[in-house]
């Protein structure tokens, strides 16, 4: 097919000796010619354009290559060697359009690129209309927060058990990711339970509000299972050894906030609850009930009433959630702001009410 050669006089010379500007001009003209006739070209014609353009692309300016990639990204019979060459470029302006849209890049090439390139390349791949489970395994493992949120929100992405496990683990401290995962149609009841068990209250509420009726019913059922399990687990806790340890510590050195902080950070649940009871004068069973409730507010009130520092209150919030759950940054910051705003007199009145109620 001589059209390209007749359209660009001296093409051989441009390929061998042309400066970047002449190469860019030739690429633009040839790619426009290709796009105009792509629907009618036979494989041999595509191969001809492939050979010409791959000969021009090296040493061509980034802008020209990026323009070429954008022009060919959605063409189903674009020159395959050229597409593979451009998709592997380090510059995301060149690779990005092809990684996100080109139908010519096969799964093995995408996995190879996802395994070796940076976050911008992963983000581009995460937006493709279809993603295999093998590919999303790599994206979830290597992607940063933005990338993982993107792939979780992609309805055309498939996830293996390993991929979903990675998503749910990372959703524990990322409320936006938890919402994206929780709204996926392919999320099984077992995975929904894992997601809800690792999410803080505010994320659970948002998941429920955004869910369709069927998913709302599933969330309600799952939450009953989770909270029921938590109550059963709480009911078998033995605080006798913890109480003895606190009494011994009280007699030897007194009860200090620094000790409570160390206990909470070490996830020594029983001894932390026993120490809070001793410091506040609130019955241990009452403290336990408040700690296993749905909200952080009781911890904020106890902390403010006892004049605890935020670091200690924060450690108690993390203790309440357990060693495998982490609140989102937003949820934790909201708790800090509420703690700072809470008046000591208000907290002390609530503490007095708790003591009065338990006496009654």
Structure token digits, residue 233 = 């687990």
pLDDT for 5:
46
250-280: b (≥16 Cβ within 10 Å) or e: eeeeeeebebbbebbbeebbbbbbbbbbbbb
Q: What is the 3-state secondary structure (H, E, C) of the chain?
A: CCHHHHHCCCHHHHHHHCCHHHHHHHHHHHHHHHHHHHHHCCHHHHHHHHHHHHHHCCCCCHHHHHHHHHHHCCCCCCCHHHHHHHHCCCCHHHHHHHHHHCCCCCHHHHHHHHHHCCHHHHHHHHCCCCECHHHHHHHHHHCCHHHHHHHHCCCCECCCHHHHHHHHHHHCCCHHHHHHHHCCCCCCHHHHHHHHHCCCHHHHHHHHHHCCHHHHHHHHHHHHHHHHHHHHHHHCCCCHHHHHHHHHHHHHHCCCHHHHHHHHHCCCHHHHHHHHHHHHCCCHHHHHHHHCCCCCHHHHHHHHHCCCCHHHHHHHHHHHHCCCCCCCHHHHHHHHHHHHHCCHHHHHHHHHHHHHHHHC
The answer to whether residue 232 scores a pLDDT higher than 60 is no
Higher pLDDT, 98 or 41: 98
- CA distance to 62, 95, 250, per residue, from 59 (Å): 9, 16, 76
pLDDT at 1: 44
Q: Is the pLDDT of residue 117 over 50?
A: yes
Q: Which of 2-6, 117-121, 123-127 has the lowest mean pLDDT?
A: 2-6
pLDDT on residue 118: 96
Rounded to whole angstroms, the Cα distance separating 326 from 174 reads 9
Rounded to whole angstroms, the Cα distance separating 216 from 208 reads 6
Residue 325: its pLDDT value, please?
67
Which is more confident, 288 or 81? Answer: 81
The pair of structure tokens assigned to 217 is 């019913």
The residue with greater pLDDT, 143 or 246, is: 143
pLDDT average, residue stretch 193-203: 81
| pLDDT exceeds cutoff 80 at 256 | yes
Q: How far apart are CA 207 and CA 281, in angstroms?
A: 38
Looking at per-residue confidence, does 181 or 254 come out higher? 181
**Cβ–Cβ < 8 Å for 36, 58:** no
Q: Choose the most confident range, by mean pLDDT, from 28-42, 198-212, 308-322.
A: 308-322
Confidence of residue 2 (pLDDT cuts 50, 70, 90): very low
pLDDT band, very low/low/confident/very high, at 197 (cuts 50, 70, 90): confident
pLDDT digits (tens, 9 = 90+) for 5-37: 445 555 555 555 556 677 788 888 888 888 888
Q: What does the pLDDT average to over 320-336?
A: 76
Say what the pLDDT of residue 228 is: 58
Distance CA 61, CA 39 (A): 28
Percent of the chain with pLDDT over 70: 88
Residue 334 above 90 pLDDT? no
Q: Above 60 in pLDDT, residue 235?
A: no
Q: What's residue 236's pLDDT?
A: 54
What pLDDT, on a 0 to 100 scale, did the predictor assign at position 219?
Answer: 84
pLDDT digits (tens, 9 = 90+) for 51-81: 888 888 877 889 989 999 999 998 999 999 9
Q: What is the mean pLDDT of the chain?
A: 85
Supply the pLDDT for residue 16: 53
């Amino acid at each position: 097919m001589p059209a390209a050669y007749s359209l660009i006089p001296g093409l051989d010379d441009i390929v061998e000796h042309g400066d970047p500007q002449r190469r860019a001009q030739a690429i633009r003209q040839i790619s426009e010619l290709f796009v105009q006739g792509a629907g009618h070209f036979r494989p041999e014609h595509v191969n001809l354009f492939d050979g010409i353009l791959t000969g021009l692309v090296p040493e061509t300016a980034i802008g020209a290559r990026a323009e070429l990639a954008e022009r060919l990204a959605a063409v189903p019979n674009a020159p395959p060697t050229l597409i593979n060459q451009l998709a592997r470029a380090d510059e995301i302006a060149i690779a990005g359009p092809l990684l996100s849209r080109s139908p010519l890049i096969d799964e093995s090439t995408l996995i190879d690129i996802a395994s070796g390139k940076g976050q911008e390349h992963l983000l581009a791949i995460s937006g493709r209309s279809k993603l295999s489970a093998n590919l999303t395994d790599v994206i979830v493992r290597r992607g940063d927060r933005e990338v993982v949120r993107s792939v979780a929100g992609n309805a055309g992405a498939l996830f293996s058990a390993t991929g979903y496990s990675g998503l749910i683990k990372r959703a524990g401290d990322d409320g936006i990711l938890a919402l994206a995962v929780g709204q996926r149609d392919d999320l099984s009841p077992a995975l929904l339970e894992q997601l809800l068990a690792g999410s803080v209250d505010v994320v659970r509420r948002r998941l429920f509000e955004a869910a369709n009726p069927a998913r709302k019913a599933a969330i309600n059922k799952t939450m009953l299972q989770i909270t029921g399990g938590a109550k059963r687990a709480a009911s078998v806790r033995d605080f006798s050894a913890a109480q003895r340890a606190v009494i011994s510590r009280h007699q030897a050195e007194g009860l200090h906030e620094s000790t409570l902080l160390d206990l909470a950070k070490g996830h020594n649940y029983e001894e932390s609850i026993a120490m809070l009871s001793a410091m506040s004068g609130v019955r241990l069973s009452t403290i336990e009930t408040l700690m296993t409730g749905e909200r952080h507010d009781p911890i904020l009130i106890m902390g403010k009433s006892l004049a605890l520092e935020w670091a200690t209150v924060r450690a108690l919030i993390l203790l309440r959630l357990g060693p495998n759950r982490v609140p989102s940054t937003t949820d934790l910051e909201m708790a800090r702001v509420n703690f700072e705003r809470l008046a000591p007199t208000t907290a002390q009145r609530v503490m007095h009410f708790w003591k009065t109620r338990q006496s009654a």
